[in-house]
Amino acid sequence: MAEMQAVIFDVDGLLLDSEAVYRQSWTEAAASQRFVLSHERYATFIGQRIAWCEEQLAALAGPDFDLIAFRAAWRVGWRAIARHGVAPKPGARELVAALRAHGVPCGLATSSARPEAELSLAAWISDFDAVATGDQVVNGKPAPDIYLLAASRLGIAPERCLALEDSANGARSALAAGMRLIIVPDLVQPPAEVAARAFRVLPSLGAAHGEVLRQLGIDQK
């Protein structure tokens, strides 16, 4: 099995504990228009491009739902929380720091738009060699576009990139791009058919740390 040459990370729910922040802001913005966004319904949006999710929610809510007002409201709510900092997932900073110490190219492939990614990651975004965001591709996850863009910006062939994802749609995107995949689930466990195609499904980034280094051929002694 060929060694990997780069690592491409999802952001929300993988590097950052941010899916709960998005869920809270979306739920509150929907409630302001008397629409109940259940956790189960929100889970179907995880890993998808934001504009698509907004449109799906509006379709579910019906003709009286003000999509423009919803878009504004959830962003206000999200920024009110995110400006105080979005906590990294356990083991995230340690893993990225280890990869940087060994000179491994690292990229981001996030469904969030660039402004949201910059706000939630803050100064940490500078630790990544390439950033691909949902507003920079025509087709969002589960299409491969965003992972292919990140690999292109790294200058590494997709098949030599190790992708780390938490969501099913993100996992499908990385697999469609031809990447080796490690899934670290967040709010939702991956479907069996997705898990079966992943190289590994691991419970945390801490648990994934050693495996990621092994896939890159890094001596851990």
**Residues forming the active site:** 10, 12
Helix (H) or strand (E) holding 71: helix 67-82
Residue 169, helix vs strand vs coil: helix
d(C-alpha 183, C-alpha 203), whole Å: 8
Chain centroid to Cα 150, Å, comes to: 13
Residue 154 corresponds to which tokens in the numbers above? 């790294």
**Which residues are CB-neighbours of 199 under 8 A, at least 6 positions away?**
180, 181, 182, 215
Starting at the edge strand found earlier in the chain, the sheet holding 200-201 runs 130-133, 106-110, 6-9, 161-165, 180-183, 200-201
Tokens 């591709």 correspond to 137
Residue 16, helix vs strand vs coil: strand
Torsion, CA 182, CA 22, CA 99, CA 211, rounded to 10: -20
Residue 62 corresponds to which tokens in the numbers above? 């019906």
